[in-house]
């Protein structure tokens, strides 16, 4: 069977996992042993003990059933595995932490990179070099002692590489831009098995495409990123009662755009499960969570800027004050333990009164819907500007980002997507022409991914794709 014939199994939204599981090819005798002899890390074939653990995801709503899995320990392992996969007519998938799976990588050769943990920080150059499996937590901790920070997102538990390739918008984004804007160099294995080093001066067109094009062009084995001079923050999160949602969301839409670029903020309606692990004031409650991060040095000014929101409702619990940059997880308080989740997002060009009213009607605390979170994040500032070395990151036209998250469990497999897409649909009149790739969540296919970019951007990206991966070896995840 040729690669062209195997252009990729249909998304799991179209084909059930039971059907996808049948797309496991057979190999000539000795082929798997040959692969084992070529790599340092473990190799598993379908049915082997250890395969399920090797390809396990953080978002357990997606379970991978590859034909072969390779636990890469170095760039040479990645190169050898890609070369072997192409020789045996297999598509290639990659996973580091398992936070962002889009669909089952059934029948693929999956390369897991979590063993690639090399990390170094050069405080003089303000640059970190990270290998493919490194999580943001490791970078933040290494940088904080030097008064530096990395541009991580709402949690430091995700991988640096996957997050950055999709753009990467975090609490420091309005001041410094997307994480992808601060990539100095990328080490990438392409479909021909070559390990390439990309930068502004070396293969600049592929360097442009990789930063924003997610995993379409190969497997990143290492990345050099800027660290920014932020030693501490005035930051945290405050929980208000659900009854305060209308007043808070309407104030937020007026207040947030007046903030300086040193402030990153978002607000979310949260439906908290009745779990004993949660603090009693939140357990089983619908609350409003205000997230706030000020990266300037004047903490009195930070508190003054925040005060119009703090005085507006009944505070259930929370803290905003001085924190280290390696304590940024306290801002969003994202879950750490693996869980099944369905998520989807969009960008807005504006957030007028009518948009907030529409959102409250669809997802306010008075509505009984199966969503964990409906969030609005402020964009603008450096997020709206191209960096010194431009890249393919979509989303600079957005003034606000909206994301919905619900339980990704079989019992609600039809209901949650319908409700989540319905909530986002109420905001269609204010939809921006782009979507951030990391916020796409579940996708119906390549055309939905392509629609996240401006037409001229996707045309250019596809031209690069046709040059470095004409057979579509890398066709899982957010492929276009």
Question: Would you say 272 and 287 are in contact if contact means Cβ atoms under 8 Å apart?
Answer: yes
Residue 283 has pLDDT above 90, yes or no: yes
**Is pLDDT of 407 > 90?**
yes
Q: What is the pLDDT of residues 317-363, one digit of tens each?
A: 999 999 999 999 999 999 999 999 999 999 999 999 999 999 999 99
Report how far residue 267's alpha carbon sits from residue 377's, in angstroms, rounded to the nearest whole number.
7
What's the CA gap between 92 and 83, in Å, rounded?
Answer: 10
Give per-residue pLDDT as tens, 366-400: 999 999 999 999 999 999 999 999 999 999 999 99
Compute the distance between CA of residue 394 and CA of residue 454 in angstroms, rounded to an integer.
7
Band of pLDDT at residue 24, cut at 50, 70 and 90: low
| In the predicted structure, residue 23 carries a pLDDT above the cut 70 | no
d(CA 77, CA 344): 34
In this predicted structure, what is the pLDDT of residue 347? 98
How far apart CA 174 and CA 400 sit, in angstroms, is 11
Say if residue 223's pLDDT is above 80: yes
pLDDT at 180: 98
Domains in the chain, ordered, with CATH?
A: 17-112 (3.30.43.10), 119-229+448-468 (3.30.465.10), 232-442 (3.40.462.20)
pLDDT at 19 over 70: no
In the sheet that holds 119-122, the strands lie side by side as 119-122, 127-131, 219-226, 183-189, 195-198
In this structure, are residues 377 and 400 in contact, taking their beta carbons and an 8 Å threshold?
A: yes
Q: What is the pLDDT of residue 6?
A: 31
Phi-psi region of 290 (alpha: psi -120 to 50; beta: other; left: phi over 0): beta
pLDDT of residue 17: 40
This prediction's pTM: 0.94
């Amino acid at each position: 069977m040729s690669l062209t014939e195997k252009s990729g199994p249909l998304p799991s939204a179209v084909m059930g996992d039971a059907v996808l599981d049948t797309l496991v090819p057979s190999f000539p005798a000795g082929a798997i042993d040959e692969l084992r002899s070529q790599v340092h890390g473990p190799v598993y074939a379908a049915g082997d003990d250890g395969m399920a653990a090797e390809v396990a995801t953080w978002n357990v709503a997606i379970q991978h059933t590859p034909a072969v899995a390779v636990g890469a320990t170095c760039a040479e392992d990645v190169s050898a595995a890609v070369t072997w996969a192409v020789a045996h007519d297999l598509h290639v998938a990659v996973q580091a932490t398992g936070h962002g799976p889009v669909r089952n990588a059934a029948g693929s050769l999956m390369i897991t990179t979590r063993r690639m943990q090399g990390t170094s920080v050069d405080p003089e150059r303000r640059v970190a070099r990270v290998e493919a499996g490194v999580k943001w937590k490791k970078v933040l901790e290494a940088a904080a002692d030097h008064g530096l920070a990395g541009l991580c997102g709402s949690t430091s538990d995700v991988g640096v590489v996957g997050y950055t390739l999709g753009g990467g918008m975090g609490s420091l984004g309005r001041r410094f831009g997307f994480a992808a804007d601060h990539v100095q160099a990328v080490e990438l294995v392409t479909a021909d098995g070559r390990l390439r080093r990309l930068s502004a001066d070396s293969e600049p067109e592929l360097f442009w495409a990789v930063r924003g094009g997610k995993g379409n062009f190969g497997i990143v084995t290492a990345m050099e990123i800027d660290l920014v001079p932020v030693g501490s923050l005035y930051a945290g999160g405050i929980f208000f009662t659900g009854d305060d949602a209308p007043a808070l969301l309407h104030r937020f839409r007026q207040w947030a755009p007046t903030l300086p670029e040193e402030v990153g903020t978002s607000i979310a309606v949260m439906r908290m499960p009745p779990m004993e692990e949660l603090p009693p004031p939140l357990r089983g409650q619908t609350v409003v969570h205000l997230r706030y991060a000020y990266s300037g040095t004047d903490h009195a000014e930070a508190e003054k800027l925040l005060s119009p929101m703090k005085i507006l409702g009944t505070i259930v619990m929370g803290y905003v004050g001085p924190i280290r940059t390696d304590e940024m997880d306290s801002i969003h308080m994202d879950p750490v333990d693996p869980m099944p989740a369905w998520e989807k997002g969009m960008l807005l060009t504006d957030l007028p009164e009518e948009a907030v009213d529409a959102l409250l009607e669809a997802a306010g605390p008075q509505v009984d819907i199966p969503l964990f979170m409906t969030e609005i994040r402020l964009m603008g500032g450096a997020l709206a500007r191209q960096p010194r070395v431009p890249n393919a990151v979509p989303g600079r036209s957005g003034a606000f980002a909206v994301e919905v998250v619900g339980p990704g469990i079989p019992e609600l497999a039809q209901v949650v997507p319908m409700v989540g897409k319905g909530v986002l649909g109420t905001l269609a009149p204010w939809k921006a022409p782009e979507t951030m790739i990391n916020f796409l969540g579940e996708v119906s296919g390549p055309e939905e991914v392509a629609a996240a970019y401006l037409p001229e951007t996707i045309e250019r990206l596809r031209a690069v794709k046709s040059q470095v991966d004409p057979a579509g070896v890398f066709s899982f995840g957010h492929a276009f």
